[in-house]
Amino acid sequence: MGDAPLVNFRQHSFVYGSDSSVLHVSQQCFSDYIWILVTEDDTCMPGVVLRFDPTEEGPCAVGGGVGTLPSLPCEHLLGVRDHPLTNVLAGALAHSISKEGERRPLLLCISITKTAERLKDAAERLGFVREIVGAVTGTGIGDIELDQRRYVEVQ
């Protein structure tokens, strides 16, 4: 009975940006798969289901500077295939989780249509992706003052 549980769950909800958009990031870790769900409160838009399998890992982009974001390619299973922010977010999540040594495949369910429409430029989109990656991996949360990150916990 001393073994780790086969299923671990973590959920994190927060307000991103000045438009008070509530985002939910959920992770369900099974013995053979990791499921990540990123949704927002104020939309009923369909999302995208993607899969990343580290055993089928191909070439990856290696980020070198502040304005770059390393990513890995993900396979689209369902949903819109040409949504740029969703693709960038999925690739960044896959890279970040793989970099930590995780070898289980990922199933990513992402629905961020309204938030994507609100982000005006590349810098805001890059900040958003980094915020979500930080929420999933647990890196960076609390490292900077909350008002600087536009990050507020939902009670």
3-state helix, strand, coil in the chain (%, to 5): 30, 30, 45
Distance between CA atoms of 15 and 79, rounded to whole angstroms?
A: 25
Which residue shows structure tokens 């008002």?
147
Partners of residue 108 on adjacent β-strands: 36, 50
Which structural domains are found in the chain, ordered by start?
A: 8-140 (3.30.230.90)
pLDDT by residue, tens only, the chain of 155 residues: 445 555 578 888 888 777 767 889 999 988 888 999 999 887 767 788 988 887 765 554 444 444 556 667 788 888 888 788 888 899 899 888 888 888 889 999 999 888 888 888 888 888 899 989 988 887 654 333 333 333 333 33
Tell me if 14 sits within 8 A of 152, measured CB to CB. yes
